Amino acid sequence: MAKIEWKPGNMVYPLPAVMVSCADKAGNSNIITVAWTGTVCTNPPMAYISVRPERHSYQMIRETGEFVINLTTKDLVFATDFCGVRSGRDVDKFSEMKLTKEKASVVAAPMIGESPVNIECKVTEVKELGSHHMFLADVVAVHVDDAYMNETQKFELGKAEPIIYSHGEYYGLGELLGTFGYSVKKKKKHENTKNKKSKT
């Protein structure tokens, strides 16, 4: 198999496609779709988003130092794309996409009610890297939709049908291939017995 060398670029795919909600000090809110986002640290819990300075949401986040990361789903894919290609200078994205503003518990920025997970963030540092500025932030609160809690109180995000972004395209997640640590877990006794029987 031959490899083709390209110029250096962002090819770490797939990525989460999230809708980031924010507001300015006057209370005007907006939503921006972001793929440059992720986990930074577990303890303390931290996340980041990278935003171009020319984006309408950039100044809101820079001014208040707050935002909410809202995870997206198959049902939200149209709104996710719309909020990434239309500017909040021209349209009220909450109204246009019929998304529900919900009050956050710590930050002033609203949460998106239709999102299965809302992550409230407070900016700790802004790194001006080039085309994008990275907002490093503490996670100050997390909200999850109880519709996806099972009988053992485990949160089953997969049932919300989350989406990902890969090189300009949106995808749903496929079948479960494994769980964290499954490659080194010892097989259960009944599984070993079953495998032995199948070989006889």
pLDDT score, position 188: 65
Let me know: does 117 contact 16? Beta carbons within 8 Å: no
Let me know: does 47 contact 69? Beta carbons within 8 Å: yes
Query: Which residues have CB under 8 Å from 149's CB, separation 6+?
Result: 155, 156
Measured between alpha carbons, how far apart are the two ends of the chain, in Å? 40
pLDDT score, position 192: 55
All structural domains of the chain, each given as residue ranges with its CATH number in brackets, are 15-199 (2.30.110.10)
What confidence tens digit (pLDDT) does each residue in 75-118 have? 999 999 999 999 999 999 999 999 999 999 999 999 999 999 99
Span 45-70, average pLDDT: 98
pLDDT score, position 103: 98
Check whether 200 has a pLDDT greater than 90: no
Check whether 198 has a pLDDT greater than 60: no
Let me know: does 53 contact 142? Beta carbons within 8 Å: no
What confidence tens digit (pLDDT) does each residue in 134-145 have? 999 999 999 999
What are the start-end ranges of the H helices in 4-163? Answer: 56-64, 77-85, 93-96
Check whether 53 has a pLDDT greater than 90: yes
Model confidence band, residue 197 (pLDDT cutoffs 50, 70, 90): low
What confidence tens digit (pLDDT) does each residue in 124-183 have? 999 999 999 999 999 999 999 999 999 999 999 999 999 999 999 999 998 888 888 988
Span 57-61, average pLDDT: 98
pLDDT score, position 187: 73
pLDDT score, position 35: 96
What confidence tens digit (pLDDT) does each residue in 34-48 have? 999 999 999 999 999
C-beta neighbour count of 115 within 10 angstroms? 27
Model confidence band, residue 193 (pLDDT cutoffs 50, 70, 90): low
